[in-house]
Structure 1
Amino acid sequence: MSDKKYHSVMLIDDNEIDNLINQKMIEASNICKNIYVHSGARSAIEFLKNIEKISHLDPMQILPDVIFLDIDMPLMDGFQFLDLFDKLNEETKGKCKIVMLTSSINPQDINKSKNYIYVKKYINKPLTQQNLVSLDI
């Protein structure tokens, strides 16, 4: 078991089973204290916006250090999430590092994700202990 590298991470994936497996994988890796799980990009972006509004708390203590983001989701996909993420305040964008965690092997998705400066890595599902141990962002 390694020491915790991050205070918190966030999973955003519409597949509940993937979320559960990834949550267990993150818990087993012991890389963080808190895990936020969202089954939709819209609820995740609202969560981040609400944290920015809570003035009596330090948002830096609540915001996730790493966001694992799926691409293919109904209602709002990963790229739409990234477009809205770009409108958040600078502190939020500076704190949250985004990792695309997807089953997509489409080269267009990989290239498109490189257009977003907040995306630090592109990982194909499933999330593995090796992915987490080598996560250096």
Structure 2
Amino acid sequence: MHDVNGAPFAIALADFHAPASMMWSREALLGYLYGMKAEILEVDGQRVAVAQDSDRLLGPSRFPAGLFRNGDRSELSAIIFTNACALSKFNRVARTWGAPVPDSRYVRYGKFYDRTEGAVDGVPILPGRPFP
């Protein structure tokens, strides 16, 4: 973990710049901050995540990647990011905890982080299944 002692400058981010931008901005931010991405490959019959370094972001801008790898940016101690603080989250909280929500239908889909060592896919959110 990056040591933030003596370097108190942090930036908090939430992505609302375009409809559904929170669906893809997390992966883009990780690539920008660390200058790497995970590529899923099959090695000895097992699906594994293999780190791939990158010094530039994809796309026509070719913007430099690896903000935290750049010694010129050492005054920045942390980026705080969430893609889960949106109106949709507030709408589902009451429903998730059993409050009656008249005249509504709620469907949630996606994946939870799988803490199993070596996991490369998330755990699917299934109707009626408790959250891990």
* TM more than 0.5: no
Of structures 1 and 2, the larger Rg is shown by 2
Shorter-chain TM-score bucket reads: under 0.3
**TM-score (ref. length: structure 2):** 0.28
